[in-house]
Amino acid sequence: MKHNPAGRIKELRLLINRYNKQYYAQDNPSVTDSEYDRLFIELKQLEQQYPELQAPESPTNRVGAKPAAAFKTIPHKIPMLSLDNAFSEDDIATFARKVNERLGSATEINFVAEPKIDGLAVSLVYENGVLSYAVTRGDGEAGEDITLNCKTIQDIPLSITAITPPSHVEVRGEVYLLKSRFAAINKRAELDGSKIFINPRNAAAGSLRQLDPKITFERRLSFFAYNIPDAKLTTHSECLQQLSEWGFAINPEIKKIVGLKGCLEYYQQLGEKRNALPYEIDGIVYKVDNLQLQEKLGFISRAPRWAIAYKFPAQEEMTQVLDVEFQVGRTGILTPVARLKPVFVGGVTVSNATLHNMDEIARKDVRVGDTVIVRRAGDVIPEVASVVLTQRPAKTQAVAAPTHCPVCKAEAVRIEGEAAIRCMGEISCPAQVKEAIAHFASRRAMDIDGLGEKLVDQLVETQLIKTVADLYTLNLKQLLTLERMGEKSAQNLLDAIVNSKHCKLERFLFALGIREVGVTTARNLALEFHDLSDLMQAEIQRLLQVNDIGPVMAENIYLFFQQPHNITVINKLIQAGVTWEKLQTAKHRPLIGKIFVLTGSLVNYSRDTAREALEQLGATVSGSVSKKTDYVVAGSEAGSKLEKAQQLGIKVLDEDQFIKLLGK
């Protein structure tokens, strides 16, 4: 670069013009803002160092890109200039010092601090109080006519609220997209298979440039007004007050501050609130408040001397993918994680980023060796936002979907219709053991009272148990070594574990945690297969004959019993003395086809035991009363369900009648 400044300047101009076109005209940026800023600063410094190489067509003398051909072009009566950027306290100190020097002032200057919304700048022109036309920034001299689209934005008044509106006034502001709307748009796009937007700014710009205003309306854009460029007022603060009185939305975070100290304090305060804001901001804009002083300070090149944008640390950066590995979550989902060349982004050094799932890898076409854009916002897990295809090396390595769990080596399967790949070693996989034990011990499964989440964590982390089967080998001495575990609590837990050994088959099947097998499905399986060994050997076609079991669930059940790790755990449970009762056959289930509803409190039954008693006899227990309901069992403090049953003439049983029915 030092030996050929002319060549480097030419290269930088070509790059920046290309990136400008992608960012401003095509809404499809290929580099991060921080990378663009670095290139732009380098070009400015070279042009200052070699003034003979400056040129009017340099992007340092332009604002954005030429307007898109699809829209009519409208010139700006007052150019829409961009702002110089500051990246450090020293930069802001220099800005404040130069403002004072140019004004010949020894006193602190009043500034207005405004969040720098990550959106699209627009100009709104009102004639006799009515919105006449709306224009994008474009290249600063002229922009695209987006009037119809702006009229769909609820925050943009179609007419100014004033008794005597001005005959002609221009209002400038930022069109943006709320974070929640951005997430909803991308979720819908993912389902539709349409374009996924990189960030809210990209989405807002794309939405505003729709040829069909109906699409813009559906995106539900927002708008903050921030300036009246030809205002006949004294201060910028008065401009903002005037805009508010006219019915425009003004950013509530805007604040009047004094001097350098005020600038730095505001930066710190807003930086702490940044991630909690409902919209994206990438910095703060400081403007000299007094409009006469603004005029005195004037402009230089493409930017005013009276304003500057202090950028927050980049939340997007470029780096290289060194490898892709798969991590196993508590529920068995295998998540691809990119191992990155370390890069400083969002205030921390990032070396790993999530790739979400194989669909995302395919959609973004991420490969090992690629240069990628990594995004991080606050405490959010860093993610690979996109691939920089222009920097893809000749040889890259595609990411292959795993066929086995990297932790327990059980089969890893992607069920049809799902994006996730799952480890099928549910009750045997070390990565899933805490979740598996908590589910196994839950009230509707093996009902091991006293085995809560914190205790499960302790048992696993101290390696007293590695699978659910190890629960039945615990002893008092081991439990007493745990933190905050007294002898009485330990003995109560051991008693609960022993009591759980004798259970019903449907409870045991539910406790195994087979994917998508809930209480009802477990009961249907127990009714169909009176012996566990028969169920373990059942093929998919046989499972499809069971009531309410479809292809996906049948495949989940089949694959679960195909994993040697799971069979080993089941055998250990049986060896530990876990046994179960078989459900009655159909002829001993007289309530088949009958629908019951439980309401109020019973003395001798909890809601769950009453439900189980009815289901043992073949009944279906519903949560709501309808014309199809056969019986309503009403305890004390029965409410609206009892009233509805009486209105519909449905037979109501009190607790004594309910007990007699069960006895029959």
What is the token pair recorded at 311? Answer: 């950028």
State the catalytic residue, choosing from 44, 66, 77, 116: 116
* Stretch (H or E) spanning 110: strand 110-117
The answer to whether the CB of 158 falls within 8 A of the CB of 148 is no
What is the token pair recorded at 203? Answer: 């989405």
Least Cα distance to 62 among 29, 13, 28 occurs for 13
The answer to whether the CB of 410 falls within 8 A of the CB of 432 is no
Least Cα distance to 352 among 328, 330, 332, 381 occurs for 381
Single-letter residue type at 571: N
* Integer Cα distance of 35 and 39 in angstroms: 6
The answer to whether the CB of 316 falls within 8 A of the CB of 32 is yes
**Residue 284: which region, alpha, beta or left (left: phi > 0; alpha: psi -120 to 50)?**
beta
Residue 263: CA count within 13 A, CB half-sphere: 29
End-to-end CA distance of the chain: 95
- Range list of H helices, 220-350: 236-245, 259-273, 291-297
Sheet holding 222-227, edge to edge: 130-136, 120-127, 168-176, 222-227
* Integer Cα distance of 114 and 266 in angstroms: 9
- Which residues on adjacent β-strands are paired with residue 73? 144
Three-state secondary-structure class, residue 71? coil
Q: Max alpha carbon distance in the chain (Å)?
A: 104
Q: Tell me, yes or no, if 116 is annotated catalytic.
A: yes
The answer to whether the CB of 429 falls within 8 A of the CB of 404 is no
* Integer Cα distance of 400 and 358 in angstroms: 9
* Stretch (H or E) spanning 412: strand 412-413
Q: Cα torsion for 451, 452, 457, 463, to the nearest 10°?
A: 0
CA–centroid distance for 619 within its chain = 42
Query: Which residues belong to the active site?
Result: 116
